[in-house]
């Protein structure tokens, strides 16, 4: 893989873009307004200025070897149109989005033949205005349904090796996607609603217990959806949470501070819709959903 385009200059896009540009020609897809804004001020990553090539959104017929979607779920539809001209018949697609639906959405639009499933986890990266800071890079979990392999997956992992991107090839990537979904449903939403940080859910007490209760509703739902997440998965992610910088915060909390629309529909919204299909009660996610919506209505 010689050429890479990333759409989304948030925490994950910048974190992995900074690593990947050491091994390939890489650019970020941006619209005219963002291009002008990024030209005025440099990006700082852990205090060091960084330069990135910028690619014009909406450009036609410039296919890349790899296109990475690193936007929020609320921006995926726009990102698909902005990036479409960089996606050709052999372009490999990778999504760093939260939730359980982005691969399905991208596959319906561009086909599934060159789509690699992915979960980003373990990072405490936070972007504040022009600066990205992190203490934990985390890693990417990548794979194909059914544990299959492919030349695309082999090429992607070779790129990661060359760039020093931490990763793991998952034998059951769909299970990993649901497990990470469980994490986000609890961690992201509770920290936003309680206006806290990672430290607020690392300490024993009612905030941590609320997070765990929201995650357990996903465990119950996952069994009904045929991708069972377990208490062992819950314990794994609780241990991971406890390694994060206590004063860091997930993306939803950052959205709340910036008075932006959050990904609540990807999290509690999805839980509620699927639970209704099965007749499953999810009172914690109901409460979190209503709380987030009330916060957003007050912006």
pLDDT in tens, 239-254: 999 998 899 889 899 8
Predicted pLDDT of residue 37: 84
Residue 268 CA, chain-centre distance (Å), reads 16
Give pLDDT, residue 38: 83
What angle is formed at CA 96 by the lines to CA 38 and CA 80, rounded to 5 degrees?
Answer: 70
Q: What are the distances in angstroms from CA 166 to CA 2, 70, 108, 141, 149?
A: 19, 17, 29, 9, 19
By percentage, how much of the chain surpasses pLDDT 90? 88
* pLDDT above 90 for 39: no
Q: What is the mean pLDDT of residues 204-216?
A: 98
Mean pLDDT of 100-112: 96
Enumerate domains of the chain plus CATH numbers: 3-171 (3.40.50.720), 174-297 (1.10.1040.10)
Q: Is the pLDDT of residue 66 over 90?
A: yes
pLDDT digits (tens, 9 = 90+) for 151-198: 999 999 999 999 999 999 999 999 999 999 999 999 999 999 999 999
Residues 103-118 have a mean pLDDT of 97
Residues 124-149, mean pLDDT to the nearest whole number: 91
Q: What is the pTM of this model?
A: 0.91
> Which residues, other chains included, contact 11 with Cβ-Cβ below 8 Å and sequence gap of 6+?
123, 125, 126, 127, 132, 134, 251
């Amino acid at each position: 893989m010689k050429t890479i385009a990333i759409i989304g200059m948030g925490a994950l896009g910048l974190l992995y873009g900074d690593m990947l540009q050491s091994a390939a020609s890489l650019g970020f897809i941006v619209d005219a307004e963002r291009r002008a804004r990024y030209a005025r001020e440099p990006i700082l990553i852990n205090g060091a200025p960084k330069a990135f090539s910028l690619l014009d959104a909406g450009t036609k017929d410039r296919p890349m070897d790899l296109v990475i979607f690193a936007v929020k779920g609320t921006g995926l539809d726009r990102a698909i149109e902005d990036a479409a001209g960089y996606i050709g018949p052999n372009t490999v697609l990778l999504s760093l989005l939260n939730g359980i639906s982005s691969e399905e959405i991208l596959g319906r639009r561009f086909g599934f033949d060159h789509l690699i499933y992915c979960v980003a986890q373990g990072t405490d990266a936070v972007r504040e205005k022009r600066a990205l800071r992190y203490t934990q890079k985390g890693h990417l979990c990548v794979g194909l349904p059914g544990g299959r392999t492919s030349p695309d997956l082999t090429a992607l992992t070779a790129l990661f090796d060359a760039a020093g991107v931490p990763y793991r090839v998952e034998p059951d990537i769909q299970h990993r996607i649901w497990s990470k979904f469980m994490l986000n449903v609890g961690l992201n939403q509770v920290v936003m609603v309680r206006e806290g940080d990672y430290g607020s859910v690392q300490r024993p007490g009612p905030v941590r217990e609320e997070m765990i209760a929201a995650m357990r509703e996903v465990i119950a739902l996952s069994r009904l959806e045929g991708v069972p997440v377990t208490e062992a998965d819950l314990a794994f992610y609780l241990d991971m949470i406890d390694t994060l910088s206590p004063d860091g915060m997930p993306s939803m909390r950052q959205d709340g501070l910036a008075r932006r629309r959050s990904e609540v529909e990807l999290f509690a919204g999805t839980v509620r819709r699927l639970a209704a299909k099965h007749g499953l009660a999810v009172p914690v996610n109901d409460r979190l959903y209503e709380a987030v919506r009330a916060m957003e209505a007050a912006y």
